[in-house]
Amino acid sequence: MAKHNLIIGGGPAATNALETIREFDADAAITLICDEPTHSRMALPYWLAGKIPEKHTHTGDDAYFQKLNVTVRIGERVDRVDPVKNSVMLSGGDTLNFDNLLIATGSSPVSPPIPGKDLSGVQPMWSLAHTQSVLDATAGMEKPRVVLVGAGFIGFIVLNAMFKRQWELSVVERESQVLPRMLDADAAAGVADYLTSQGVGIHTGTSVTEIKDDGGAKLVQLENGTSLPADIVILATGIKTNLELIDGSGITTDQGILVNDRMQSNFENIYAAGDIAQGPDLYGDQNAIHAIQTTAVDHGRVAGANMAGQDVRYPGSLLMNIADVCGLQCASFGNWNDPQAEVMTVNNTRQHIYRKFLWTEDQLTGAIFTGDAKDVGMLTDIGMIKGILQTQTSLGNWKEYLRDNPFDVRRAYIGAGVAQKLVGTTLTGRPARPRQFHFGGNKPAASVGPAHTAFVSTKAD
């Protein structure tokens, strides 16, 4: 008899899990429950920036779910999980039984204790509804004034989208630097200097004491005495895992649901993936939550394979954050803030170029990059650094080469055999497949641009 696989959530962990289950098991029953349409949170800033319509943020439609033979219950919420009875209770009163359960309910914004946080126009930017609310509130405004409370990764993703619309922007961060959980102090200083040159107001080392109604607009009062006028205030002060549905269930938690390398909780038929899963860390001894899309995708694929009867082990998540900060590319990987590591640094403050390699003997264990897109992205350096860290390759003499040539990662990447290792590596024992959902059924057309022709052409000039 086919097993019933129940998935709670609609983000990348959930959709990758259901596709992986179907890849390994054509007959398994799959039910997906989600209180929002399945979508990518990382696509919301593109909608906010006016680059795509709202419907392009969606990652599934009726035709997609029918093709995969998935029963969907969109707009419903699970209130309680019962691991003993292998059942879940929905908010509408229904009870569903399962053989395997995947909890991929993600995380939610933390609401800071700021007087005035409930005023109209003061909100997080986390969901489809939040994005629509900002667009509605700023409709018809030529240059809305926006104050972002929080200068972390999430806040800066929102900042970048609003910068593209040429809105008037200010950022408030209570810590002494921007991106405190992504960049070190020197890299962050360069980013703050760059943002100031782009007209973005930066207020670090202070906090918001109150948000006041100012005749329909808002006045954001800071601890240092500064007052910032705003039409919209975005609260980006952190996230918390959505654990309420498992309260009292006996499922073991810490900051999230603790899982092993098969993404199983302490109940072997109950799995967790994505932001809610506290799982293996590639460069750490303790389980960790890495609230990033790449980890959610990996978690979902590993959980899905095991739910389908495979034995797939996850080597661990690589902590990484990559952000376009109003035209300046920023990235950090692995143990980027390890005080025990040997450090190699390049810091060109005039051109806002920063590179930091962190070493344990001859193994690269962390890195930080900031710079223009052509120096960071177009050279694919961040992709190659990611590959070096993921394969945990010892670079030997290439370590000294990078000390003298920090902008020639490609030669060390190839010379140390990282590319060959990656070619032979799979997460689930099979080559990865592209996602099966394409909006409107239209598959993307790939073309080689002039910047990449030299690297892919097989013909001599």
Query: Which tens digits make up the pLDDT trace of 101-138?
Result: 999 999 999 999 999 999 999 999 999 999 999 999 99
265 by Cβ neighbours in 10 Å (0-12 / 13-18 / 19+) ranks as buried
CA-based nearest residue to 258, from 284, 289, 282: 289
At residue 458, the pLDDT reads: 52
Question: Span 74-89, mean pLDDT?
Answer: 97
CATH no. for 122-237 = 3.50.50.60
Provide the residue ranges of all domains of the chain, joining segments of one domain with +: 4-108+240-307, 122-237, 327-423
Ranges of beta strands (E only) in 290-339 are 320-325, 328-334
Query: Which tens digits make up the pLDDT trace of 152-187?
Result: 999 999 999 999 999 999 999 999 999 999 999 999
Query: Which tens digits make up the pLDDT trace of 260-312?
Result: 999 999 999 999 999 999 999 999 999 999 999 999 999 999 999 999 999 99
Domains 4-108+240-307 and 122-237 share a fold: yes
CATH topology of domain 4-108+240-307: FAD/NAD(P)-binding domain (3.50.50)
Q: In this predicted model, which residue has the larger pLDDT, 206 or 458?
A: 206
At residue 216, the pLDDT reads: 85
Which has the minimum average pLDDT: 69-83, 150-164, 366-380?
A: 366-380
Residues in contact with 209: Cβ distance below 8 Å, sequence separation at least 6, in sequence order:
114, 115, 221, 222, 223
Question: Span 222-242, mean pLDDT?
Answer: 97
Residue 450: pLDDT band with limits 50, 70, 90: low
- CA–CA dist 78, 81 (Å, integer): 8
At residue 460, the pLDDT reads: 46
pLDDT above 70: residue 97: yes
Query: HSE of 161 in the Cβ direction (CA atoms, 13 Å)?
Result: 22
Which has the minimum average pLDDT: 64-73, 170-179, 230-239, 423-432?
A: 423-432
Residues 385 and 408: beta-carbon distance below 8 Å:
no
With the CA atoms of 146, 149, 151 and 157 taken in that order, what torsion angle do they form, in degrees rounded to the nearest 10?
-50
CATH topology of domain 327-423: Enolase-like; domain 1 (3.30.390)
pLDDT above 70: residue 224: yes
Which has the minimum average pLDDT: 17-21, 151-155, 243-247, 370-374?
A: 370-374
Q: Considering the entire predicted model, what is its pTM? A: 0.94
Give Cα 96 distance to the centre of its chain: 30
Residue 406 structure tokens: 């920090």
**Average pLDDT value for the chain:** 94
Give Cα 135 distance to the centre of its chain: 22
Give Cα 320 distance to the centre of its chain: 9
DSSP label at residue 192: H
DSSP string, 406-441: TT-HHHHHHHTTHHHHHHT--SSSS-----S--GGG
At residue 461, the pLDDT reads: 43
CA-based nearest residue to 292, from 12, 101, 31, 24: 12
Among residues of the chain, what percentage have pLDDT more than 70? 95
Which has the minimum average pLDDT: 186-190, 208-212, 449-453?
A: 449-453
Residue 317, CA distances (Å) to 105, 255, 435 in order: 18, 16, 20
